[in-house]
Amino acid sequence: MIYLLINIMNKMLHEGIIYKYEFKNNMSSNAEKLYNLIKNDSRRKNSLFLTALTNPKSALDKICAIGKEFNILVTKDEVIEYLSTIDDEATKMWLIKARGGL
């Protein structure tokens, strides 16, 4: 009986880990999809740029709202996490401001 319970718990744990991994991968790919969508839309990109200059944290809200508009759901943390992988000085400076620095 204990052996059966241990097997069931191991299976549940394994499935939970896989679910979390797949969920996290999906969200980071959502952040990437959204980034590429915005990058290729000059109107949205310019609007976000202007917002980011004056209120970086508000720009994060705006990015998430754009995601909702296109049914590409992301959180602020996921956007920050993805943007931190971009090798671009302007993006890095904006991230510092969005996190409350400078």
SS3 readout for 24-67? HHHHHHHHHHHHHHHHCCHHHHHHHHHHHHHCHHHHHHHHHHHH
Q: What's the pLDDT at 15?
A: 58
**Structural domain includes residue 8:** no
Residues 21-59: tens digit of each pLDDT: 444 444 458 999 998 999 899 899 888 888 888 888 888
**Structural domain includes residue 43:** yes
Residue 91 to residue 16: CA distance in whole angstroms:
34
Domain ranges, residue 85: 30-98
The set of residues, in sequence order, having a beta carbon less than 8 Å from that of 56 and lying 6+ positions away, is 94, 97, 98
pLDDT beyond 90 at 64: yes
Residues 68-93: tens digit of each pLDDT: 999 999 999 898 888 888 887 877 77
**Structural domain includes residue 78:** yes
pLDDT beyond 60 at 17: no
**Structural domain includes residue 76:** yes
**Structural domain includes residue 7:** no
**Structural domain includes residue 71:** yes
